[in-house]
Amino acid sequence: MPEASRSDPKIRCRGLWKLFGTAAEAACAKRAPDTSVEQAIDGTDAIIGARDVNIDIARGELFVIMGLSGSGKSTVLRCIAQLHRPSSGDVWLDDANLAAMPESSLMDIRRHRMGMVFQNFGLVPHFTALQNIAFPLKVRGEAAADCAAKAAEMLSLVGLDGRGDAYPSELSGGQQQRVGIARSLAVDPEVWLLDEPFSALDPLIRKQLQDELLALQARLRKTIIFVTHDFSEAVRLADRIAIMRDGRIIQQGRAAELLMRPADDYVSRFVGDVSRLQVLRLGDVMQPATTGSAGAPALPATTSLEDMLMTTGSDVTAITVVDADGQPVGTANRQNILDNIRNPQPAPSASQQGSAG
Amino acid sequence: MSVAVTTQGTIIRGELATRLAGAVIVLLGIAAIIMPDRLPAIVAAPLAGGDAIAAAINNGIDAFVIVFKPALRAVAGALDWAVRALQSLLHATPWPFIVIAVTWLAWRLQGAGLAALCGGAVLYMALSGYWLKSMNTLSMVGVAVPLALAVGFGLGVLGAKSRRANAVLQPTLDLMQTIPTFAYLAPLVVLFGFGPVPGVLASMIYAAPPMTRNVMLGLRGVPQELREVSSMSGTTAWQRFRFIEMPCAKHQILVGINQLVLASLSMVIIAAVIGGFDDIGREVLVATNKGSARFGQALAAGIVIVLLAVVIDRLTRAAATRRNTPTAADSKGAKVGIPLVWHLAGLVAVLFVSLLYKMESDALAVVSAVFFRFGEVAVNEWLRAFIATHGMTLDAIKNNALVYLLLPMRIGLTKAVLPFTWGVTFTPVMQTVYLLAICAGSGVLAWRGHRAAGGFLLAAGLIAFTGFTFLPWWVVFAGVTWLSWRMVNWQFALVAAAMMLAITLTGHWQDALYSVYLCSAAILVCMLIGCPLGILAAKFEIVSRIMRPLNDTLQSIPLYIFLIPAVALFQVNEFSALVAIVLYAIVPIIRYTEHGLRHVPPTLIEAARANGCSPLQRLLLIELPVARPAILLGLNQTVLFALAMLIIAVLVGARGLAEQVNIGLRDADTGLGMTAGLSMAFIAIIADRILRGWATRLGGTDSAGQL
């Protein structure tokens, strides 16, 4: 993503904690200014949903939060949406702190700037597909004709023309989630939150919807937070991934970074199953250099290793890596590539939370 | 003694303490029961109870009436006006129009079958000569239902939205649904005088709780994800309620309305005991009190009540189940046939025509009613003939039940077994042998690991030995408190003890024991008949098919009706009361037994068959144990039903607390009625919590509560 936008994130979470249990919440809320949440809840039987989470998400970025069930990934998403009010910490949307906002202002933000897709689709059973899509428009008081027109447009955006009068119970799972997607996009939100949107679907449908999501994102350039428990889904979709365990973010960065420098064994176990040839790009494995190797073919840094192997002949031993303008930025040889597609080298010291790529 | 044990620490401490406490209580109890003469001090009824509390309540109400007289008058006046206005309207409406309108409604809601049933039922009301009385009843229901709807719905929403309101509402609802209906009739009469108003208000109070419960259940059942969808769509609280929560809860709310209307009718009928309004309940009550001589009249009028209940039940239920899952076809308005407007126009035309011929149709009803009177006389004659031929059999049934079941349960084998009843004398030797056998039997059971069964045998054996009404008070106190502790928790054990203390202090202890005795006898009979019926229904589809509509009807008709056959066949006595209670309370145990057996996981049944179980082994070793929690919940319902019916059964010979409540109502002695009524409610609450706790310990859930 463009470097410029990194300095001006769309969403920033700072020191975000979410505790469940009234005693723990009270202890956290009443703590003295100089005590950490950790100290304050010591001794209470708090269930910790999110533990000191710090995330920056750039405008137009597709950010994936990945973790197993109970890791706190949905909790973080809900804290950003303010469906759960954080126990401590801030959630900034541009320059507004959602965590400090009254419910009435949040309502306004949700009506205009946020859309959310739910794991079990969250379709209202007594509404038709079109009524479901129009619902967020209707509650914010748009005229019935505008609602209908916009809903029809959204329906065709997700490829469900002609099914608008069907009730959710008459649609397949994939179709239901398309309606869910259409509804979340109906208000043309800036921030798009997706909570395991494809987990309840068959593998084939899931892949199809992933492709459509990428196509939609290429057109719409929303700021997306996507929650999943499926690492390969995360790799397929994400600009950047955050891996969570026990409410904590263990590592965040581009897929290639997680692959090459997993923060610990937990992360390396996830990345072990992923095809490194598909994920790693020339830019990830090259030796930085200002001049290319003589006689070596030139390829862009964004080329995946797989594509590189498919397009170059077997006699090629070195490659000049060039940037978008064709200027050489480094070189890659057979040894660089082999080093990187072998098993990951655990290097706990090499990366830590916040090591952004 | 639990103090001595606390030193041992760890979790086992509590377990051990409960067991030790149980053992000590059992030993002391046996001692007290076996040697009542030697231990008079610990057997005598405690604290002969003063009238102080009842008197205080009476004084309080009197003072209240004096202060608030104008307000009470105003409320009474308004309600009285509403009932009488509705009454005039219903009287002025020609019955053929109502017959056709109800038929049309049933047809629209469900179809030809329901239309025929409802049309026929309303026609019967018109032609049997009870039309005006039925309309009087309906006009009370018609005023009570909207009131109950408003209150029930409002409280339900409040309870679902506010945790604090819920904390107050839940126990209040429990209490409201367990206080016998007569108990709050008494203060209402004192406050609002005779006539239809106390009945309407009692009906409202009685009918609102089920509505509140269903509204709360429905609103709480809205999926969390839909709430989040609603939040993320930026709904206001009202929009969420209007577009998401209400439609999602709609089905449950309609179920609540069904229960509300039936409860309202039931209570209006019961309120006939206070008189002052010429409704159908009064008719049945008067005829029933005349015994078998006016059985025909009681039957004919009773059928009107049953039909009223059935029509109301089926219509509201049809409305509730009509459209659960909308489909695309519905939304496109694929209506077949004539549009609704024409239907309504047709109804208006029918109204005009029937108004024109009102005189003629009324005359027709009168003529037909004359023939019905002949029919009633014929039924009376038939019953007289029947009793003349089968009187011996009926008496034999009654006397055997009295001598071999009711008497021993009430006063114990020691007093019930006499030469002129059982034909033998219960000698000290026999008594010793009996006691040893009971103790040995329960000891063996407990030793083999069936501790609950052992405890049950011991308790039942001792109760049979000494009789419910002669149980030492502290044995009951200790036993019930201990059970509450074991089955629920120590907090509830304290509550139970306090409740029993309250019963004692208001002077109702002896009456309470009597009520417990009669209910226990009825529940025993219900179990003995109901469980096998439930098993049969689970095993044979045909039995289930026959039982289901029968059970539906038994459960939807007002309690009064059960008195009619009981009195006609057995006159007014304890056994008639037992019969009436059993008729009403047997339904849940049948239903839950069938439900429990039908929901045994199929894999378990396959496993049993694969292991070579015979059908009987499968039933005894697999199905019944797995179904046990469901059966226990059924038993719980049966207990509550029996207690509810007890209060009605007092009209045909039950005594005890129910009789006190009735006296309180008759003499406008609110204090007496309220304390006795609350005592019954306490018994119901204790029994309910213990049985539900037991079912939960066995792994049951309240999922079967939807039956």
Which range is least confidently modeled, A136-145, A208-217, A228-237, B406-415?
B406-415
Task: Look at chain B and count its residues.
Answer: 707
pLDDT tops 80 at residue A14: yes
Residues in A touching B253 (Cβ below 8 Å)? none
**DSSP string spanning A280-314?**
-BHHHHPEE-SSPPTTPPEEETT-BHHHHHHHS-T
Nearest to A110 among B234, B250, B331 (CB): B234
Query: Beta strand A88-93 with A62-67: parallel, antiparallel or unpaired?
Result: unpaired
Contact B328 A136 (CB under 8 A): no
Q: Print burial letters for B236-262: b (CB count within 10 Å at least 16), e (below 16).
A: eeebbbebbbbebbebbbbbbbbbbbb
Contact B233 A139 (CB under 8 A): yes
| Residues A35, A73 share a domain | yes
pLDDT value at residue B10:
45
Residues in B touching A81 (Cβ below 8 Å)? 231-232
Angle at B446 between CA B445 and CA B452, to 5 degrees: 95
pLDDT tops 60 at residue A187: yes
Domain boundary at A143, A162, A189, which?
A189
| Residues A96, A15 share a domain | yes
Domain boundary at A167, A189, A211, which?
A189
Which range is least confidently modeled, A98-102, A123-127, B447-451?
B447-451
- For residue A23, being part of any structural domain is answered with yes
| Shortest Cα distance, chain A CAs vs residue B238, angstroms | 10
Number of domains in chain A: 2
Global model pTM greater than 0.95: no
Tell me the pLDDT tens digit for each residue of B194-234.
788 888 999 999 899 989 999 998 998 888 899 999 999 88
Which domain does A184 fall in, by range?
129-189
SS3 assignment, position A94: coil
Q: What is the rounded average pLDDT of the residues B460-485?
A: 83
| Residues A87, A22 share a domain | yes
Bridge partners for A116 per DSSP: A193
Q: Note whether B10 contacts A: Cβ–Cβ < 8 A.
A: no
Nearest to B226 among A114, A122, A136 (CB): A122
Which range is least confidently modeled, A25-34, B81-90, B598-607?
A25-34
pLDDT value at residue A115:
92
- For residue A288, being part of any structural domain is answered with no
Contact A120 B225 (CB under 8 A): yes
Q: Note whether B322 contacts A: Cβ–Cβ < 8 A.
A: no
Rg, Å, chain A Cα set: 23
For chain A, positions 88-107, list CB contacts with chain B under 8 A. Answer: 107
pLDDT level of residue A2 (50, 70, 90 thresholds) = very low
pLDDT value at residue B47:
54
pLDDT value at residue A23:
78
For chain A, positions 173-212, list CB contacts with chain B under 8 A. Answer: 183-184, 193
- For residue A150, being part of any structural domain is answered with yes
CA atoms within 13 Å, Cβ hemisphere of B582:
20
pLDDT value at residue B140:
92
pLDDT value at residue B46:
52
Numbers of helices and strands, H then E, in chain A: 16, 14
- For residue A317, being part of any structural domain is answered with no
What ipTM is given for this predicted complex?
0.80
Q: What is the rounded average pLDDT of the residues B643-670?
A: 81
Bridge partners for A321 per DSSP: A299, A330
Residues in A touching B323 (Cβ below 8 Å)? none
Rg, Å, chain B Cα set: 28
Tell me the pLDDT tens digit for each residue of B24-36.
767 777 776 666 5
pLDDT value at residue B334:
46
pLDDT value at residue A3:
42
Domain boundary at A170, A189, A208, which?
A189
Q: Note whether A124 contacts B: Cβ–Cβ < 8 A.
A: yes
**H or E segment at A320?**
strand A318-322
Residues in A touching B233 (Cβ below 8 Å)? 110-111, 135-136, 139, 183
Residues in A touching B243 (Cβ below 8 Å)? 124, 135, 138-139
Q: Nearest chain A residue to B238 by CA: give it.
A: A139
pLDDT tops 90 at residue B170: no
For chain B, positions 330-349, list CB contacts with chain A under 8 A. Answer: 331-332
- For residue A165, being part of any structural domain is answered with yes
pLDDT tops 60 at residue A159: yes
Angle at B208 between CA B204 and CA B211, to 5 degrees: 145
Residue located via tokens 């065709």:
A156
Read off the CATH number of the domain in which A50 is found: 3.40.50.300
Contact A170 B327 (CB under 8 A): yes
Three-state secondary structure readout of B511-524: HHHHHHHHHHHHHH
pLDDT tops 50 at residue B2: no
Three-state secondary structure readout of A19-83: EECHHHHHHHHHCCCCCCHHHHCCCCCCEEEEEEEEEEECCCCEEEEEECCCCCHHHHHHHHHCC
Residue located via tokens 């309470």:
B512
Q: What is the rounded average pLDDT of the residues B515-543?
A: 91
Q: What is the rounded average pLDDT of the residues B289-304?
A: 81
Q: How far is CA B667 from the centre of its chain?
A: 25
Residue A115 token pair: 């859309």
Q: Note whether A31 contacts B: Cβ–Cβ < 8 A.
A: no
Residues in A touching B327 (Cβ below 8 Å)? 167, 169-170
pLDDT value at residue B336:
54
Q: What is the rounded average pLDDT of the residues A221-244?
A: 92
SS3 assignment, position B502: helix
pLDDT level of residue B704 (50, 70, 90 thresholds) = very low
Contact B331 A128 (CB under 8 A): yes
Amino acid at A38: E
Nearest to B232 among A108, A116, A120 (CB): A116
SS3 assignment, position A194: strand
> What is the percent of chain B with per-residue pLDDT over 90, rounded to a whole number?
15
| Shortest Cα distance, chain A CAs vs residue B32, angstroms | 48
Amino acid at A83: L
Contact A126 B231 (CB under 8 A): no
Closest CA to B387 of B577, B563, B567, B653: B567
| Shortest Cα distance, chain B CAs vs residue A315, angstroms | 57
Name which residue leads in pLDDT, B337 or B141. Answer: B141
**H or E segment at B243?**
none
pLDDT level of residue B11 (50, 70, 90 thresholds) = very low
pLDDT value at residue B525:
93
Average model confidence (pLDDT) across chain B? 82
Closest CA to B271 of B602, B545, B560: B560
- For residue A21, being part of any structural domain is answered with yes
Average model confidence (pLDDT) across chain A? 85
pLDDT tops 60 at residue A324: yes
CA atoms within 13 Å, Cβ hemisphere of B278:
6
Residues in B touching A125 (Cβ below 8 Å)? 248, 325
> What is the percent of chain B with per-residue pLDDT over 70, rounded to a whole number?
91
CA distance B28 to A54: 67
Tell me the pLDDT tens digit for each residue of B483-510.
898 888 888 899 999 998 888 888 888 8
Tell me the pLDDT tens digit for each residue of B50-68.
677 778 888 888 888 888 8
| Residues A91, A32 share a domain | yes
pLDDT value at residue A64:
95
| Residues A20, A69 share a domain | yes
pLDDT tops 60 at residue A121: yes
| Residues A146, A89 share a domain | no
- For residue A161, being part of any structural domain is answered with yes
Task: Give B45's DSSP letter.
Answer: P
Task: Look at chain A and count its residues.
Answer: 357
| Residues A90, A24 share a domain | yes
Nearest to B247 among A120, A126, A165 (CB): A126
CA distance B527 to B460: 15
Rounded to 5 degrees, φ, ψ at A124 are -75, 120
CA distance A49 to A18: 5
Q: Which of A113, A139, A163 to mutate to test the interface with B (most CBs of B within 10 A)?
A: A139
pLDDT value at residue B510:
83
Q: Which of B222, B229, B327, B331 to mutate to test the interface with A (most CBs of A within 10 A)?
A: B229
Name which residue leads in pLDDT, B497 or B191. Answer: B497
Contact B326 A126 (CB under 8 A): yes
CA distance B399 to B575: 9
| Residues A97, A134 share a domain | no
pLDDT value at residue B40:
52
Q: What is the rounded average pLDDT of the residues A161-183?
A: 91
Tell me the pLDDT tens digit for each residue of B96-138.
899 999 999 898 888 888 899 999 999 998 888 888 889 999 9
pLDDT tops 90 at residue B341: no
Residues in B touching A102 (Cβ below 8 Å)? none
Residues in B touching A165 (Cβ below 8 Å)? 328, 331-332
CA distance B298 to B281: 10
Rounded to 5 degrees, φ, ψ at B368 are -65, -35
Residues in B touching A110 (Cβ below 8 Å)? 231-234
Contact B236 A140 (CB under 8 A): no
Residues in A touching B229 (Cβ below 8 Å)? 116, 118, 122, 124
- For residue A292, being part of any structural domain is answered with no
Query: Beta strand A318-322 with A88-93: parallel, antiparallel or unpaired?
Result: unpaired
Numbers of helices and strands, H then E, in chain B: 33, 0
pLDDT level of residue B664 (50, 70, 90 thresholds) = confident
**DSSP string spanning B146-207?**
HHHHHHHHHHHHHHHH-HHHHHHHHHHHHHHHHS-HHHHHHHHHHHH-SSHHHHHHHHHHHH
